[in-house]
Structure 1
């Protein structure tokens, strides 16, 4: 199970890890696709760790396909996130300072489906998302994506 710890420069306790996440809007551009994680029951954007030998675009597309069954076109960079005051910890003792590249993805093929990493999947409005148990750093990414700013955020 993954959990976050927050504190002054707490990320110094972890290894550096590159990850991607994706914001997928519905056709009306008013709802965002979220998945419920099977490991901790929390809602999140599709995404995950980049593997050696992949580009960030390939990692984003792979993680999205693995978690949702959807094939996507990566349309734009929403932002780069590297909060030094947040540490991702796993039950096995591994800890990471995450650097995340969040993209907007456009579905090119498939219908949302569950995987061994997800127990629920759906599109939600910003108002619904406010009241959901969402993995902490994903709220900021969703807010940035909804702002429709064409200049990527660097946080």
Structure 2
């Protein structure tokens, strides 16, 4: 089983750097389990789409997610083909997760089982670094990625 954990987001926009921060925490912790690859894609969504063309058994995206919850709230979602926008084109300047995955389909790839570990941002202004609420959520997101990778590699629910 091959699992790609992809941190995505713009580190120059405050809490949008949540995905890269979680990817960095996972890498700094040490060797991931066999078959798990952790990559900080940052704003290189097209690169992620092309890497997915090589094929993976599962994808875990880590990103800041909009929503009504309090900043720092971590949410895990399962994403399927019907969740993707219809007719989305390739736009290297608008690489939110839905666009990346729709681009994969447009390039001839297919969506593997996909999960999103997201965090509600406090601020997406031009700024380096995460807000205190979102920085405090990084360990929870790391734990959520661990639960997902364990579930995917062992088949346990």
TM-score over 0.5 (shorter chain): no
The alignment's TM-score, normalised by the length of structure 1, stands at 0.29
More strand by share: 1
More helix by share: 2
The alignment's TM-score, normalised by the length of structure 2, stands at 0.28
